[in-house]
Amino acid sequence: MNPDRMNHHRRDILKLGALAFAAVATGAHAMTEDEDNVPAPRAAKALDILILGGTGLTGPHQVRYALARGHRVTIFNRGRKQPEWLGQVEQLLGDRDKNDYASIAAEVAKGRRWDAVIDNPSSVPAWIRDAAKVLKGHVDGYTMISSVSAYAENATPGQDETAALATFDGDALKETNASLRADMTKYAGLKAAAEAETRRHFGDRATIVRPGLIVGPGDDTDRFTYWPLRLARGGEVLCPGDGRDPVKFIDARDLGEWMIRLAENNARGAFNAFGPDYHLDMAALLYGIRASTTAGATLTFVPTEFLEAQNVSPWGDMPVWVPNSGDSAGFHTRSNAKAIATGLTFRSIADTTAATLAWFAAQPEERRKAGSRSGITVEREAEVLAAWKAKPKS
C-alpha cells in the first residue's frame, strides 16, 4: 500500500477509534437482561468488585455476569444512564473528567476495600493516577482495559504481548479526555502511557487487557454491525480483497465475562483479547454472517489495488478489514494464545450476528432509519461495483 493510501487508512482507523472510545466512555446504550443469555454457575468465592464505568459497551456484560456468578458489584460513573440492574448494584457517583472521586474516597475512609477493580474507560494516564490516589492500598487487583492500538507497529505478523508499545511525545499526564477526543492520533501513545501508569501504581496487582475490535450488541460505532445489516439487506455486496485477509475481533459479551473470570482467578499481566481461536479470514466471516440472514446477498470480492484506486478505505469504508500486507500485515495476526490459556472463549459468528441484528432492531426508529454509522454508503458501493464490472479483465 502506498504511503498516501496508508495515511488515509490510518486516519480512518483513528476516526473509528474515536467513535469506539466515545461509546465505551459515555455508556452509549441500555441493554436488557436477556441479551447475554449465557448460563453462569456461581463462583467458588463471592468477590467485591468495583467497576469504573459499567454502563458502556463492555460494562453491562461485566455487571450481569458478575451478578450471575454471585459477586457484589459497585459501579462508579456520572449516573447519566440508568441500567435495568441498578437495583442490584451499588452506584457511586463521580466525574473523572473533573477528578471527582469523592464518593469512593468516602467509602475508603470507612475502611472499605474491593477485591477487584475494573477500569473500563481510562484512555488518559491522569485518570489512572487520580483513581490510584483514592484506591491504592484498598484493592487487591486493578484491571485496565487498554487496546491493541497501544502497540508501536502493526507490520510484524504474529507478535504477542511482549511486543514494543507506542510512545508518547510530551507529558502524557497533562493530557485530558477532551484533548484526546480532539486529536485521536494521540490514542496509541496515551493508551501505552496509561498502561505504564497502571503498573506504576499497582505493580504486580495490575492486569492489562488489550482488546482488538469490540463488536456485538451495544456497539454504537457500527464497526461490525455494518456487515450484518448490509448482508441482511441483500443484493450484490462489495467485499474487500480476495477474501483471504485474516480478521480478529471480540464480542463484547465474551470480553466482559472473561474479565470477571480474570478477577476471580487473580490473573495478572498483559493479555491480547480477541478471537476467534482458529484462523478466520474475511470471506469466512462474511459468508458466516450471510448464513445467519435470509436475504440471499451476493458477495463480490474486489482486489485491494482496485479499491485503493477507487479511494475505498480499509477499516472505514470496509469495516473490520485491513490488508494483510505492508504496515498492516500484523494487525489481525497478533497472538491471543495467552488469553485463551486463561479461559477466554468465543461465541459463534452466528450468535454475534443474531445478537447484533436483534440489538439494532430494538433501537429507536430514527437510529434505525439512519442506517450504519460505519461502512461505505449505498451510492458509493454501487459506483464502485459498476466501475469494477466495467474494468477490462486481462
89-116 pLDDT per residue, tens: 999 999 999 999 999 999 999 999 999 9
Minimum mean pLDDT range among 3-12, 123-132, 289-298, 384-393? 3-12
Tally of domains in the chain: 1
What is the share, in percent, of the chain residues with pLDDT greater than 70?
A: 90
Sign of CA dihedral 190, 315, 61, 66: negative
Alpha carbon distance 242, 71 (integer Å): 47
Short-list 149, 126, 95, 134, CA closest to 272 = 149
pLDDT band at 293 (very low <50, low <70, confident <90, very high): confident
Which grid cell is 276? 476467534
**Statement: residue 10 has pLDDT above 70:** no
pLDDT at 343: 97
Q: Are 46 and 70 in contact (CB under 8 A)?
A: yes
Mean pLDDT, the chain, as a whole number? 90
CATH number, domain with residue 180: 3.40.50.720
Q: Are strands 250-251 and 214-215 parallel, antiparallel or unpaired?
A: parallel
Q: For residue 298, list its beta bridge partners.
A: 236
Domain span at 59: 3-390
Cβ count near 113 (within 10 Å): 13
pLDDT at 111: 97
330-352 pLDDT per residue, tens: 999 999 999 999 999 999 999 99
Q: For residue 48, list its beta bridge partners.
A: 72
Instruction: Give φ, ψ of 295 to 5 degrees.
Output: -85, -10
41-96 pLDDT per residue, tens: 999 999 999 999 988 899 999 999 999 999 999 999 998 877 777 678 999 999 99
Alpha carbon distance 28, 321 (integer Å): 24
pLDDT at 37: 54
pTM above 0.85, yes or no: yes
> Could you tell me how many residues make up the chain?
394
DSSP tag of 268:
-
pLDDT at 29: 35
**Statement: residue 23 has pLDDT above 90:** no
pLDDT band at 227 (very low <50, low <70, confident <90, very high): very high
Minimum mean pLDDT range among 23-27, 44-48, 160-164, 307-311? 23-27
Instruction: Give φ, ψ of 109 to 5 degrees.
Output: -65, -25
